[in-house]
Amino acid sequence: FYKSYFYIKRNKLPYVIGKIASSKDNFIKSKKSKMLTNNFSQDLSHLLRYRSHAILISYKTLNSDNPRLNCRLNSLEQYSPARVILDKNLDLKTNTYVIKTAKKIPTYIFYNKNNFKKIDYLKKKGTKLIYLKLKNNNFKSIDILKKLYNENLFYLLIEGGLNLTQNFLNNSVFNEFFHFKSSKMLKKNGIIKLSNFEKKVKNKFKNFEEVKTYTGDDKVLRYY
């Protein structure tokens, strides 16, 4: 508790936790099943959401998965985090669950392109749009974190896809990182493979451990 608290106070930035899930053979998507990990791992994942002020994804994840991004643990649903979407060109689909529920759960969209018609629509749906400048055609991670800190979002969980995760990893954004590793082998049903990912994560952190919370046959590795 104090480690994260002092980090936030000292740096005036959110404390950032990253999370990714994969099969035993390191695929992060399956052609057949939406869920890779078991119910115990999913409960632990929702506990991370409960502990976070906000959860961040890219518009690509929003469009492809239509996620709910809420906490679904019994009696903790009301503590679901705010949702943060990175979408420089405002390419997100407006019929997704996150947009439809933006008046109930705070929803922030970082953008750069002035699509006035879509901006007006998203504001009417209850989202808060935050304009950011680009560098090398991308948002600077530090700019995102400063804006979120100013919104009093001090604990941030990032559940993006591989590209977003690697980008934040390369920029040393994460204070902690969780790799949920299923006992399932996907083989030919696997889509998008983590290539040397564990080695890259290890190089960014001093310590790692296997989480001792019961997760059945799944493994959860924590880097810090």
User: To the nearest whole number, what is the mean pLDDT of the chain?
Assistant: 96
Structure tokens at 211: 């989480």
Q: What is the largest CA-CA distance in the chain?
A: 50
Q: What's the pTM?
A: 0.95
Helix (H) or strand (E) holding 143: helix 141-150
pLDDT at 49: 98
Average pLDDT over residues 25-38: 92
Q: What is the pLDDT of residues 35-83, one digit of tens each?
A: 899 999 999 999 999 999 999 999 999 999 999 999 999 999 999 999 9
Residue 162: pLDDT band (50, 70, 90) is very high
Helix (H) or strand (E) holding 222: strand 219-223
CB environment 129-138: b (16+ within 10 A), e (fewer) = bbebeeeeee
State the pLDDT at residue 75.
Answer: 95
**How confident is the model at residue 34, as a pLDDT?**
82
**What CA–CA distance (Å, rounded) separates 210 from 174?**
18
Amino acid letter for position 157: L
pLDDT, residue 219, reads 97
Amino acid symbol at 85: I
For 189-203, b where at least 16 C-beta lie within 10 A, e where not — what string?
Answer: ebeeebeebeeebee
Tell me, what's the pLDDT at 60? 96
* Residues 211-222, mean pLDDT to the nearest whole number: 96
Query: What's the CA gap between 125 and 128, in Å, rounded?
Result: 9
Question: Residue 5's CB: how many other CB atoms inside 10 A?
Answer: 11
What pLDDT is stored for residue 32 in this prediction? Answer: 87
| Res. 33 pLDDT band, cuts 50 70 90 | confident
Residue-wise pLDDT tens digits, 124-159: 999 999 999 999 999 999 999 999 999 999 999 999
- What lies within 8 Å, CB to CB, of 21 at 6+ separation is 28, 36, 37, 41, 45, 179, 180, 181, 182
Length of the chain: 224
The percent of residues in the chain predicted with pLDDT above 70, rounded, is 100
